[in-house]
Structure 1
């Protein structure tokens, strides 16, 4: 097993993540994370060590997406760097689609992914820009 820099594998992973995000599928979102994990931004950081903690961190996201009428999320992979044998850093800009078919620019993140037997999992999320 080794860190994936294959764009097909990474695109599939972020496609599943984006579907779970906009659908509010909290168990599927939690399943995208390695434990323990970390989220970092300019104003806060938090760690989580259980699927329930990951789920709680996304509870407010689904209503926000519904209120903004965002129906799909697409990860534009900007950069991929193999960090170690099992870790890959992926720079992503999220682009959303609203209910009228319009594109809505999203935010940029860096995801540190760990290779596992079942595919990549998110270890750390850093909000950038």
Structure 2
């Protein structure tokens, strides 16, 4: 096996292990800074590992609730772009405690070889939101408010909500899914408030 092939295999194996262990700090070490996440609806740059750790950790409670117990992968394609840069296409596989596949997702990564070994610089996610919506939609509940609380969502000012999964939970609002990650924020009846929180916290959209 060529050296770069072995390094990519080792890198992806380590990445899957960090996701299985819900080890945000170990996963963040596999990223260069800044790191960029890109999909059809979102583009964001994470300029510190602390932001990456925060985003990953916020996704873990919901993953546990959905029954995620282990993560595997398939390397679908790789292309050497330069002496130090490789682009890979990966299919992540998500399993429950009995080894049953819950769902999968596909992503492209640009990896760069540096002093700390291979690290991801860019992740392009292609089908995360669709796969999540098909996975366990019943796990997302409807926001509950007291009878005396008025719902101002129809009157909210500001930009419209992002497309995709956007249901409110009892105390939290799911505002995004990014590959291995969902992100949550305090339940807000005003969609303008949720939007502003979403826009201020790009790290919350980060997953892998």
- TM-score above 0.5: yes
| Separation in structure 2 between the aligned mates of residue 42 and residue 116 of structure 1, nearest angstrom | 29
Higher RCO (Cα < 8 Å, 6 or more apart): 1
State the 1:30 CA deviation: 1.0
Q: Secondary structure at the match of 2:54?
A: helix
SS in 2 for 1:70: coil
Partner of 1:35: 33
Q: CA deviation at 1:5?
A: 7.1
Unpaired segments of 5 or more residues in structure 1?
Answer: none
TM-score of the aligned structures, taking structure 2 as reference length: 0.57
**Which protein is richer in strand relative to its size?**
1
Tell me the CA shift for residue 7 of structure 1: 3.0
Q: What's the counterpart of residue 26 of structure 1?
A: 24
8 Å CA contact 1:22–1:65 kept in 2: the answer is: no
Whole-Å separation in 2 of the counterparts to 1:48 and 1:5:
29
Higher helix share: 2
Find the counterpart in structure 1 of residue 180 from structure 2: none
Aligned-CA RMSD value: 1.6
- Residue 12 of structure 1 is matched in structure 2 by 10
TM-score by length of 1: 0.89
Q: Which structure has the larger Rg over C-alpha atoms? A: 2
| 1:96-107 correspondence to structure 2 within 5 Å | 96-107=94-105
